[in-house]
Each structure stands twice: as C-alpha cells, then as structure tokens.
Chains A and B, each alone.
Chain A
Amino acid sequence: MNGLLRIALKLLLNDKGKFATLVIGITFSVFLMMQMTSMFSGILYQSAANIVNVGARMWVMDPAVQTPQNSIPMPNYVLDAVRSIPGVKFAVPFYVGAGLVKLNDGTYQSATIIGLDDASLFGRPTIISGSITDIYKNNAFIMVKDANYAKLGSPKIGTSFEINDHRAVVVALAHTPVPGLFGLPTLYTTYNRATQDLPSTRYLISYILVQPKSTQDIAAIEQQVKQLGYLALTDQQFITRNDRFYEFQTGMGTNILIMTLISFLVGLSIAGETFYMFVLDNLEHFGALKAIGAKSGELIQMIVFQSLVVGFLGFGFGVLLSSTMIAIAKLKIANYAAMVTYENLFLALIMVLIISVFSSYIGIRKVIRIDPFDVFRG
C-alpha cells in the first residue's frame, strides 16, 4: 500500500474512540436501512406469492384489481374471447378466494382456496405426498404444507373437515416456492369444485391464466384484452403492479421510505460529526505535513481513504448484522417476511458512499484551508 495511505490508516485506527464511533454509527445506520428495506422487500415478495407459485406467463383480470390478494370475478365470455385472440396458445380459468374451514374440534380457520382449471390443472403445486390425480376424487383438496399447515391441525391424507359447510377431504400434500404473507393456510382444488362449493357472485372467474404462443404475442394480447375492457399483464407486470400498490397506495411504502431516510440521516450525522472532529483533531498535524511538503491532493487522498475505510467497514458490519438478524428471525418465525435483495444492498451502499463523500467533503474543506504559516505562528 502507498505509504501515505498507510499513515492515514494508522491515524484512523489509532484513534480508537472515534474509529469505533464512526464504524458503529455507520453500521447502525446500514443495519436500520437494511432491516427496513429487507422487510419491505419480503412483504412485497410474499404478497405476490400466488403470481410466482402459479407461474403463468400472463394474467387477465378486471382493470380494478391491484394485487393478487383480491380479485373481481369476470364473466365466462371473457375466457372465450381471450381464447380466440390470435397469439394465445391456451387460456384457462383460475379461481382464488377465501374459504372458512371448520375443523373437527369445532374451531374455525379461514383459508385461501385456489381452483385450478379442471382439464389442465395449470398452476398446480409440487406434490410432496399423495397424487395430483386424486384432486378429481369427491370433495378432494390438496393442502400446502407450509408454515400455516398446522393451522388446519396438520391434516394427514384422508383427514376431512368442512369448508363453507361442504365436506372436504385432504388427498395430497404439496409445496409452493413462496409462502403467503397473510398467514393463511392454502388449499388447492379444481376450478369447478371451488366455484361450486364456495358462495360466489354471478361471475366466477377470478383470473384467466394465459400462455402466449411466443413473447412477441404479448403486446398484441394485452391490446386485445384491453379492448374487451379487461387487463392483461405478464407475471412480472402483475408483480410490479402489486409492488406499486403497497409502495404508493398503502402507508407502508411511505413509512418505510421515511424510516430509511431517517436511518440514513442518523448515520450521516453521526459519521459526519465524528469525522469532522477527527479531522479537527488532526488539523494542525495536517498543517505540519503541508509545511513539510505534502501537496493538498495528497492530504485529500488521505481523508477520502479514511472516510471510505470507515464507510465500507460500517457497510460490511451493517449488512452482516442485518442478514444475521433476518436469518435468525426466519428460524424462529416461520413466515418472517424479510429478504435481502441486491437492490437493498445497492441502496445501502449508495447511502454509505454518500455518507463517506459528505464526511470527506467537510474534512477536505478544513484541510484545504489550513495555512501552514499558522503552524509557525502557533
């Protein structure tokens, strides 16, 4: 390493109090930022669970639908109309709704009921015990074995209960990649049974799942569905729509943003203040360096290096701390909605860099202005 930077590093590390304050301050700030943004990412991700789990390329829905949590039923002619759009390889009806499960001990639990197209079973979950074809048996339901499995009394194959006053039998257990956000158990059945057994409005289809013939057909399909008065979205667009809903139409997005900003400002002020004091402490020595023959650019290098060192250390520790906390929380709380994404890491990194740049800036301003003559004048 360049000797000057080595000196800069020693000056920093040997001021243990300020060094610790700087690193802890930034660590704390990164930790808070990461917690906030990871929690929000987790919420967004899990709230879009159905979109990911079903895996359809395109979704057709009522234009007023914002999230996969609710749906506005569509009449059957829409399905036929969508099927007749050129570029549609196939389109199937999809039902999602809430059902009230009455357990054998007499307690009630609400659950998410998903009805898969009878013919294709498109969007089916991965079966982990039992057989998918048993879904065609009388009153058959497939239960997802996730964190909410126990809420229906951890049913085995053959267990029966009532859903909306209809008999239901668990015929298989399944797995889905993304857990839901709202802590509800999930039951799969056929579209026909779901629409027959659950109280419903005049219209029955929650969503139409569409497989386009090719990616190039997507735009035309979206256009045509729009002319029908409905909305067709790719799975990614639907996820984005869901994200936007939570970001902008609930208080959650704003609050997370404010909290993230506050964490940033806390880090900025702790680090900025401490770094300023650190530079002030060393100011007359920097003046002596200038007198001896250090160029201003060299002093700036030292300061930028010092602020980057604390910035990156704080970033590293902060990320480590928040990832560890999230990992531990996930072990203890099965459905804990938080995930560290590259976007979150990048955001935290940018904020840390701003903190570093700001800190060096106020330090540099001081150092640039030192007049080595003052070193002589005392």
Chain B
Amino acid sequence: MILTARDITKSFGEAPNQTYALRDVSFDVDFGEMLYIVGPSGSGKTTLLSIISGILRPNGGDVVVKDTDIWKLGSDALAGFRLQNIGFVFQDYHLFPRLTTLENVAIPLILRREPWDRSLAEARKTLQVVGLAEKESLPPYKLSGGEQQRVSIARAIVAQPDLLIFDEPTASLDGDTGRKIVAFVKEHILNAQRAIIIVTHDSRIYEYATRIIRMEDGRIVPGTGADHEK
C-alpha cells in the first residue's frame, strides 16, 4: 500500500458557521494504481487531495504515505517529505513565466539541492519523455495549454517520486488534448512502482482510471472505488 487515509475529517470556520468539507473519509491506494477522485463541485475533492498530499492539515484522521504518518511531521519535515515522495500537477500549471521550460522542470531537483548542471541534464531527459525536448529554452507562456500541462507533468516526475497528485489536469484543456494527455500519462508515466491520484470531474477521461472514488457532501459514496476496474 502506498497510501492509507483513515477517518479524515476537515471543517472550515468556527462554531456557528462551521462547515464540514470532509467527514470520516477512509481509503487506500496501491502501487500501480491510477485512482480518480470524482464528484460534483463542492463535494470536497480538492480538500481531500490537499490533505493526503500533506498540504492541508485535517481536523482528525491519519494519512500514511509509504509508512510515514505524514501529519505527525513538523512543517519543514513535511515539506521535505513532499519534495522527496510526491509530485504535483496543478490545474493551472503554475510554471514560472520568467524561467525557461527546462529550468521550470528542474525545480524539484534544485530544491533537493542537486547540482545545477545535473538538475538541468535530468530535466532535459524528462522533457524528452513528454516530447518537448525542442522547447526547452522557451518560456512556458510561449507553449500551448497542452504543452504547458506536459511541462508540469515533466516537473512532477523529474525527481522520480512514487506518488503523483493531479488536480483537475484537463480542466484548462480542450477535450481532445485532455484525453491525449491522460492517455499518455497512463501509458508512459504510470508504472508498478508508483501511484497516480487524479481529481477530476471531466467524464471524458474516466475510461483511463484503474479505479474511481466518487464523492458527495464530504463523503465517499458507499460502494464506489471498492472494486478495481483494471
């Protein structure tokens, strides 16, 4: 098991206006899975994703990633844990417009204090994997939306993390491009040593999931995600 979430609860605000975004959410993720978390807007998908990736502290419950109970770590240790073990793909990419595509991809390695030249060399290889080798010296904004998303995927995988987290990866892309990218991820990025968790409400890409968890009102809809659809 790469990830175990147990009884995750999260509320926002104080007593009279307190709203529960998550109630007692539990699930597991295994190596080799491409797990989707789907559901209507406001159902708690982003909140859940943030909690299991060590970004948002839950009110209750435990998240164990690769045998580490991540919410028992201090904030710097947790940042270090994310850096070593988790790769992020954000909905709106979050690439630095004032760095080249290559430098953007190298950032996780640079944060890991890898030497500059080695970081760039590794980033170059990873750009080849996503098919953007020839764009390495361009700033990201010169690239199309689909290309930018591939750059951010390259950045997420450059340091070889075991867990990849995608938040609405196709929301800013047209249907065809979105489908192609997710197909590419399943074909070339997913392997038996890692797991990918994707939050989405784009039903056109459901077919690529190995398993789907459906959320509603801060709860996992009973029965969903129980069976692996591999």
State the Cβ distance, B55 to closest chain A Cβ, in Å. Answer: 5
Chain B residues with Cβ below 8 Å from A289 are: 107, 111
CB of A346 to closest CB in B, whole Å: 34
Residues from chain A with a CB closer than 8 A to the CB of B27 are none
- The answer to whether A10 touches B98, judged by C-beta atoms less than 8 angstroms apart, is yes
Q: Is A3 an interface residue (CB 8 A)?
A: yes
CA gap between A296 and B113 in the complex, in Å? 15
For this complex, into which size category does the number of interface residues on chain B fall?
A: 20 to 34
Q: Nearest-CB distance from A160 to chain B (Å)?
A: 75
A362 proximity list for chain B (CB < 8 A): none
Work out how many contacts link A and B, with CB atoms closer than 8 A: 81
Within 8 A of A (CB), among B8-48: 46
Whether A166 is near chain B, meaning CB under 8 Å from some CB there, is no
Closest A residue, CB atoms, query B167: A376
Q: Are B79 and A285 in contact (CB under 8 A)?
A: no
B72-106: which have CB < 8 Å to A? 75-76, 79-84, 86, 88, 90-92, 94-96, 98-99, 103
Among candidates B81, B86, B90, B114, residue contacting A375 with C-beta atoms closer than 8 Å: B90
A292 touches B88 (CB 8 A): yes
Is B108 an interface residue when CB atoms closer than 8 A count as contact?
A: yes
Q: Do A11 and B79 touch across chains, with their CB atoms under 8 A apart?
A: no
- How many angstroms from the CA of A287 to the CA of B55 in the assembled complex? 11
Contact B79 A293 (CB under 8 A): yes
The answer to whether residues A376 and B50 also contact, given A4-B110, A288-B94, A298-B111 and a CB cut-off of 8 A, is yes
A291 at the binding interface (Cβ < 8 Å): yes
Chain A residues, CB < 8 A from B91: 376, 378
Decide: B94 and A294 in contact? CB cutoff 8 A.
Answer: no
Which residues does chain A contribute within 8 Å of B50, judged by CB atoms? 373, 376
Among B46, B75, B79, contact of A376 (Cβ-Cβ < 8 Å): B46
* Residues of A close to B84: CB separation below 8 A: 293
CB distance from B39 to the nearest CB of A (A): 15
| Cα-based distance from A288 to B90 in the complex (angstroms) | 8
Q: From residue A310, how far is it (CB to closest CB) to chain B in Å?
A: 15
CB distance from B220 to the nearest CB of A (A): 19
Q: Which residues of A contact B (CB under 8 A)?
A: 1, 3-4, 6-7, 10-11, 14-15, 282, 284-285, 287-298, 372-373, 375-378
